[in-house]
Chain A
Amino acid sequence: MKREFPDELLSAFLDDELSPAERQQVEQHLAASEADRQLLTELKALRSDVAALPKVAVNPDFTDRVVRAALAEAERHNPKDAAVSLPQPAPNRSRRRWVGAALASAAALAACFLLVAQPWRNGSDQPVPEVVGISLSLHDQIVNSLREAAPKEGEVVVLRLRVSKDMPLAAAIDAALGKAGLNPLATNAANGASALAAAYRKTLEDRFPPASPGTENTELMNATVAAAQAVFVEAPLAQLENVLNELSAGQKTPLRLDPECLLAYGAKPDGAEGEPGSAKQTAKGPTAGQAFAHRLNAELFRLEKRLAAAANAVTAPQQPVTGFDPQQRVRVLILVEAE
């Protein structure tokens, strides 16, 4: 026999989504129908069961990952068009795309350091603005700063990567460079990479001088964090991305490019002090002309965060951003740390 009562009203009754007239209809029906009273009770229990399903614990890096992906995706779109056109499918945590996005954001921040960190670079004691926090905002002026800063002679963006301690670093880096068609320039003193290495070390030593001449800079050595390998690369952004992708391929945990661990270094070798071998050697300092590995000071991380925040606070005329050019050449010093 066909039921006259539309039983979907039971669900709506349960959800308090009925008009007064419908509610009255349901109440009258329930008073006469034992079966539907039973059904209503069961649906109520079922609703509670589903509502009681546990919450999920989102991965801790989710927010950061999403923001980076969104910034990268926005960069790919002309902002004017972005408001009216649908984007391409999102990165979906694709390792390749993620590394690229992270690199773009990180490089933008790092380039910003290059432009504003002059007091630090010159060893000056000028006060650094105390700004709490670090913003990953990819402001137009930062993007433009990267475009402006990257090709400058003697400037290098330092990227810090942390990888699994199980990774055979030296072989992996060589393989990654080879697949990307790159050679580590640090093996060739003529290209200036070794001068950059020496000047970089000198910058550290300037900030953390030894207690007395002739002694080891123990404060620096004790406070620093080991970088297992370091490699200087000058290449188009897209090619550099390939290197990072290769490094991350096959790893148990994705290669991390943490913007808070970025250091920017823009020392232009300045005469004899910046020449290979002329700077004071520390016990574990790099040797000019060799592939080099640095120790980085924890204090520098904190300093760099303040510099980064100050950089973000810099006001500059807004200019239209057309996105990163994958062929734009960048110079980076990749410090690879095993953890």
Chain B
Amino acid sequence: MIRAACQGDAAAFGALVSKYQARLCTSLTHVCGSLDDAEDVAQEAFVQAYVKLRSFAGGSAFYTWLYRIAVNAAISKRRRRREQTSVESKREELGLEPLDDGERADERLLREERAAQVQRALSKLSDEHRTILVLREIDDCDYDEIAQILELPVGTVRSRLHRARLQLKEQLDAVLNDRVLGETTKRA
């Protein structure tokens, strides 16, 4: 499929887009803060990939190569917009869809509440910490893949990922404390 796309077969390229778009957009939504921005960045990455396909040496997996382009585009975009918008978005604004329609309402409520808290905490991290967490936890990349995508030594991936997790834990604790504080204030 990649070889066909390299030779200018738009149908093959369309199949590549179709294959990777959901995975890429899901990750980018958490990196960028909104589905709209994620789709913009994903489109930019796919277009750049198409134009540069002939230079894709095949030394890494296509998705790793694509993701490297996308992550760079996402970080650039966020830097440009940092002062204009906040990434703190409600779940609905992220364009996320429920996972399981079959679960009980109370379970679903709890899961959604937890997801909102995690997203809120995630949005408070630095770009580099959020990106590496998304790559590891959501995209399930191993350290070598992360190193290729972010163009970092594996040792740096290891230490940065750990710091990112500690930061997320700290932010999540803060989010939970805010919530408890808010409820206490309401009752008072």
Contact = CB atoms under 8 A, between A and B. Distances in A.
Contacts of B8: 74, 79, 139
A137 B9 contact: yes
A56 B158 contact: no
Interface residues of A, number: 50
Given A91-B47, A135-B10, A50 B133 contact: yes
B48 interface: yes
A161 to B, nearest CB: 22
Contacts of B168: 46, 50
A94 to B, nearest CB: 9
Interface string A86-105: 11011111000000000000
A136 B10 contact: yes
Given A15-B143, A70-B51, A65 B10 contact: no
Interface of B is mostly: helix
B62 interface: no
B57 to A, nearest CB: 11
Contacts of A56: 22, 25-26, 29, 35, 38, 94-97
B103 interface: no
Given A17-B142, A55-B97, A57-B97, A73 B162 contact: no
A59 B39 contact: yes
B74 interface: no
Interface string A196-230: 00000000000000000000000000000000000
B76 to A, nearest CB: 9
A136 B13 CA distance: 11
9 contacts: A17-B143, A46-B168, A47-B165, A49-B114, A66-B21, A70-B10, A70-B47, A90-B45, A93-B40
